[in-house]
Structure 1
Amino acid sequence: MPATPALLIRPGHLLLLGALSLGGCLRLGPDFQPPAEAWSKQWQSPALEQASERGTLPDLRQWWQVFADPILDRLISDAEARNSSLKIAGLRVLEARAQLGIADSGRYPQLQQASADSLYIDRHQSGGNNPQDLHFWQHSAAFDVGWELDFWGRFSRAIESADASYFAAQANYEDALVLLRAQVADTYFALRTTEARLRVARENAAQQKRNFEITEKLFRSGQTAELDLQQARTQYLGTLSSIPAFEDQLLRTRNALAVLVGQPPGGAAFLAEQPGLIPLVDRAVLQDVPANLLLRRPDVRAAELNVAAQSALAGVAETDLYPSLTLLGSIVWSSDTLGTTPRSLDLIGGPSLRWNLFDYGRIHNNIRVQDARLQQLIETYRDKVRQAAREADDAASGLTKALERERILGEAEGAARRSVVLANTQYREGYSDFQRVLDAQRALLELQDNYLVSRSNAVSNLIALYRAVGGGWQSAGPHIDSATRQQMQQRTDWGDLLSAPPPQPTYPIPSQVDRHE
């Protein structure tokens, strides 16, 4: 005969208790408050106003198109597809998404466990009126359910934290994209600058070699002193010695660019040397006011989302101060091979209350730890905004001043070229000594090199300015490339996480994050 099922509480009461508990849930801990200071919403920079203008083209998300360089476009496209640092940032987004799934499972019964046991029992009983030996099997199967109700918001706060962490990982990916695109453009134009400086050094060395050869002939014919010969030789060899340094710098820059675009050193051999100068752009084109652009920078948004995540964790820590209410239920079936023992089926259910009354300060100190971490992240966010403003202001000022210096050096280079012509003419006609020729050539080489460096500084500051306002953060491609996705699917069951669209925020997170961008 089966045993009568044992119920500690009626099912209707369980449903009512669960409904009341879930309906009256509280969410302990601080709600997220934007940590931005008042100045950041109205920030203006005279240097940035001078170095930028409002417009729609080029799109700030593809600012490098202002240079109209198809090679640069190709390099940035290759970097997006193969750069390892960007791939790691994309994988961290995937990791954060899986962590969000773990946190979201807290909405459902935390314990759902099936068990089955088969035990062989060999019992020897001696003495008494009925000594006997028993040999039998005992079988049992059970299904246990435990559901801790989210009465104080422990699980909802954990989901809120994981939700913000997921979007922070997305913002970090976008920040890695901003950095990568700026690094590729900066390294590419550094390569072009080195090529131009090497070209100038070779041209000057060739001219100085001709002067040295002419001076050597004059010395051998007795028409000039040995001092002129040695001075000409010294200048020629000094310029010649700079060429190996430029060639080494060119190789190193080319290798750095190759690694950025996901190729081995020497893999950027397709970059044929360009004879022209690097382009100059005198202003950055911005689609919004600087204050809004700064707050939309991916690293700033990530810092704010970290504050939101930690704010929710502070609430999770606070729930430990209060009792936890768990609904427990079990279905247990048991039998054995003895014919005299009936089979049984028990249904067991009821609430369980747990309250840690004596923790010796552990819970309160954990709350303090979480609050201190929250304040640290608030200060980190505020410092991040200040640093973003500084970077934009510095880059804008650097762009303006580098362009001013470039214009001055351009005029000085023209004067130096004319000086070399005049000095050579007067020397040949006997109106001046050879020292003037040497001085004129030395000044020309120095000015030409400084001019190229100044142009490079202007372009580098323009790139830094676009990066400082968060330009180039959006990517049309997936976070995980197809080859990596296939490799991960072969190794692990990822379900639809590798192809499903990103989830929408479960709880309100920073208002600056535009989900439709």
Structure 2
Amino acid sequence: MKRLNQPANHNPGGENSQRFAGLLPAGDHGHGRAAHRILRLFASLLGAVFTACSPVGPDYRRPDTTMPERWHEAEPPPAAPSETVGADWWKAFGDPVLNRLIREAMVANLDLKQTYTRIRAAREQRIVAIANGLPIVSNKESVSRRLNNAGQSGAGGQPGGVGFGNNIDIFQLGFDVQWEIDLFGGIRRSIEAAEANLEAEVENSRAVLVTLLGDVARAYIEMRSNQHLLNVSQANLKLQLETARLMRIRYQAGLSDSLEAVQAEALAAQTQAQLPVYETARKQAMHQLELLLGKPPGALQTLLDPEQPVPSAPDRILLDLPSELLRRRPDIRLAERQLAAATAQVGVATADLYPKFNIAAFLGFQNMKITDVTALSKSWSAAGTLTTPIFNWGRIRANIDAKKAQQEQSFLAYQSAVLGALKDVENSLVAYAQEKDRRAALEQAVESNRLALKLSKERYRSGLTSFLNVLDSERAVYSAESDLVRSQASVAADLVSLYKALGGGWETALVDSGKLAGGS
């Protein structure tokens, strides 16, 4: 490395100037101008080469995905207007409490907050990747001691110049610049990977958000269904206890045997045994909601204890085309961004096969005596380093092959995400349609069993049938009413699963929460 020095205070008779003259040649303004012209020419040449060189490795292109033209399990289009799968799908249930829970979960859920921190980390990593391609300027202070054997010849051609054979101290203060010229695009590929990773974290946050919305809705439906099952059980228990009381009175009056009274009491006891089961499930669903909203147990009791019906779903909904899944499903978008990042990493690994060019420069002052400020000299240096891999035991090739394998893995994961999304929608469609049919049948069963109970009591009072028919009718009414509540909850839960499978919710949720605005 050639170093040019220009004294700040030129004093030919001074001791420091004489010692410095024996160390390195002093430079003047002419030398500086020539050096700067060389550097400008060198930078222009590098710029031209940098512009002409395209990054090595494969260029990313979104996969061509063939999607079905229609949903296989979808119902025929309705003649009357139907609900569409909107971004704020939970509002279709018309439940203000559910709407409130959803809004609070968007803001307070801890898992969702963790995804925001990962997005911030990915943004910082993108800055790191960009900074790797820019010059690095550092403050540099150094102290060194050198042996000077480069003095002028004395009499008879013998060495005898100033400072010959002396140890010379050199103190330097200035700025050091290091820059790796990205000729073959390794740094540019790493920036592409960082950008894709950032976008993948955004999509992951959206996927977590879609899952969160579905979990809140399902937990709320489960809580309300168990609350309603508890009420149905209590209402039937009240009737059964009244029947048992009457049977006990009839037995004591000698109008019936003890078997009828015991059977009535047994049925009431069986119904009463279900109350703790439903109460446990109700409270556990409430605790799950509190967890999803980032609240301690008991925080939602005042809001959720008042009785509300099980959320009812619209009978028909309009579906988007299957191709819309590629846009709506965050997990598909996440897999696609991970594929883009893996493709860029192949280019990063491939760039290691090619030469690396580094530029180093120093600009500052130097002196031979740290206490003598008047002898400060201007100092600058510039150097370029070209490094070419020759023999590395196959490490670079193995790394490239590993990155290609990871790229293929990401591509297969993307294909799996698309097929999984199609499966989720079809499963939700068939479950939703079949459960609606089951609910309609159970509604009819409840009406029929209530009528059968009424008739069996009338026939029993008329002496036309045994009391066993009354007990069977009461048991059938309770079973049918309980099954109907469960079916109503299943229809609502299946619709939530369908909304989730279609990827709905994150668009409006992002606007409401304000956490990911500008993050994509």
Q: Under TM normalisation by the shorter chain, which class is it?
A: 0.7 to 0.9
Q: How does 1:26-175 map to 2 (within 5 A)?
A: 26-38=54-66, 40=67, 42-50=68-76, 60-109=86-135, 111-117=136-142, 139-175=171-207
CA shift, 1:55, in A, is 7.5
Distance in 2 separating the partners of 1:120 and 1:353: 29
Q: Give the alignment of 1:110-509 within 5 angstroms.
A: 111-117=136-142, 139-269=171-301, 270-286=303-319, 288-337=320-369, 343-474=376-507, 475-477=510-512, 480=515, 502=518
- CA offset at residue 53 of structure 1? 9.5
- Rounded to whole Å, the distance in 1 between the matches of 2:204 and 2:73 is 28
Q: Larger deviation: 13-22 or 169-178? A: 13-22
RMSD, aligned CA: 2.8
User: 1-side partners of 2:144 and 2:71: how far apart?
Assistant: 79
2:52 to 24, 30, 38: 24
Highest Rg: 1 or 2?
2
- Higher mean C-alpha deviation, range 424-433 or range 406-415: 424-433
Gaps of 5+ in 1: 122-133, 482-500, 504-514
Give the Å deviation of 1:343: 4.8
SS of the residue corresponding to residue 10 of structure 1 reads: helix
* CA-to-aligned-CA distance 1:36-66 (integer Å, 9 cap, x gap): 432x2x3422313448899796561101111
Amino acid at match of 2:344: A
- Report how far residue 479 of structure 1 moved: 5.3
Change beyond 3 A, Cα 1:348–1:55: farther
Alignment deviations for residues 350-397 of structure 1 (CA, whole Å, 9 cap, x no partner): 321001211101000000111111111111111011111011001111
SS in 2 for 1:169: helix
Q: 1:275 & 1:204 partners in 2: Cα distance?
A: 19
Q: Give the AA of the match of 2:414.
A: Y
Could you give the per-residue CA deviations for residues 313-333 of structure 1, whole angstroms, max 9, x where no partner exists? 110000001111122222253
The verdict on how the C-alpha distance between 1:380 and 1:51 changes in structure 2, with shifts beyond 3 A counting, is: farther
Q: Deviations over 1:70-102 (max 9, x none)?
A: 111111111111111111112221211111111
| CA deviation map 1:421-468 (0-9, x unaligned) | 111111222211111111111111111111111111111111111111
CA drift of 1:274 comes to 2.7
Give the drift of 1:337: 2.7
Aligned residues: 469
Whether the 8 Å contact between 1:51 and 1:399 is mirrored in structure 2 is no
- Is there any run of 5+ residues in structure 2 with no aligned partner, and where? 1-5, 8-25, 147-165
- What amino acid sits opposite 2:511 in the alignment? A
Q: Distance in 2 between matches of 1:101 and 1:187?
A: 40
Give distance in 1, aligned partners of 2:120 and 2:79: 38
Letter of the aligned partner of 1:305 in structure 2?
A: R
TM-score (norm 1): 0.84
- Would the alpha carbon gap of residues 433 and 447 (structure 1) be closer, same or farther in structure 2, given more than 3 Å must change? same
Q: 1:273 and 1:51, CA in 2 relative to 1: closer, same or farther beyond 3 A? A: farther
Q: Which moved more, 1:225-234 or 1:249-258?
A: 225-234
* Residues 8 and 349, structure 1, Cα contact 8 Å, conserved in 2: no
Contact kept, 8 Å, 1:79 with 1:260, in 2: the verdict is yes
What secondary structure does 2:362 align onto? strand
> For the structure 1 residues 114 and 463, does the alpha-carbon distance in structure 2 shift closer, same or farther, using more than 3 Å as the test?
same
CA distance in 1, matches of 2:185, 2:513: 34
Identity percentage over the alignment? 27
- The offset of 1:251, in angstroms, is 0.7
Please, which moves more after superposition, 273-282 or 242-251? 273-282
Q: Is the Cα–Cα contact under 8 Å of residues 221 and 310 in structure 2 kept in the other structure?
A: no
| 2-structure distance, mates of 1:390, 1:254 | 30
Shift, 1:169, TM fit? 1.2
| Contact residue 313 and residue 492 of structure 2 kept, 8 A | yes
- TM-score between both structures, scaled by the size of structure 2: 0.84
